[in-house]
Structure 1
């Protein structure tokens, strides 16, 4: 994301982050009760005790966190993400690049979850892996994780527990 200048500066004090994090339900007791606490709890699923060589897990957890903050159920996730993330970061992120990365990440996730992506056995080595396939996996994961981190930073810096969007018609 930094390579594409898609990681805008958001000033955060360490104590503010710690206090906000510890105040979220589900972190230490109970269950998440806001979209922000759900997103944070999904984010924690990226941290595991041992290395996880799994091209799908991190992507699924990161996209779930993003959706918790941005997507209203019953509508197209990709369409909402393009529209809402575009609105949030219009002046800071190239919208064509953002739309492409959203589409690419969801396309990869969808093909994996629905069994439409050709895949090799886990027991084979990666030595003859196609670079394009590795880039697709790697870029999708990094984009989703980076976007979730960016959204959490935005939420924390603005002391929010939810994001609300409204469509405005201008002529």
Structure 2
């Protein structure tokens, strides 16, 4: 078991080491510059997106998850964070297209720089991880399906948020704790 844990951790470290820092910094600046933030993703990518949306809320950002009943319409000055490992998830590409038409900035997070989602988006953050498709350009992994992408996505988005709130001095742990759910 320890060897499997070590291998998974090493895989994630390698993926994160290969992320282009300027892309991550661009996302950080985009979060800071957005009026409101919308997060879109399907399946496991969507779950990681929802986790990030929760962290953004804790940090004091006005954030919404697409598809929820209380999500308002997106507008100019807003940011759509569109997450799709393949970059070809139809609903996410559709959301990205609609957001662009509304004047919002679209920031794709994907493994595929040559994807439909990347083409639609204003900016793209590439996470060079394996997906369930196991394309030749993807790194090898012992993990099934898109686990390597999902885990790398989760940790990278956490790191971007930490960097963002550290640089902006927008909030601290005490304030974030005060925003944590209390109807538990």
TM-score, with structure 2 as normaliser = 0.28
Decide which structure has greater helix share: 1
Of structures 1 and 2, the larger Rg is shown by: 1
TM-score, with structure 1 as normaliser = 0.30
Decide which structure has greater strand share: 2
Of structures 1 and 2, the one with the larger relative CO (CA 8 A, separation 6+) is 1
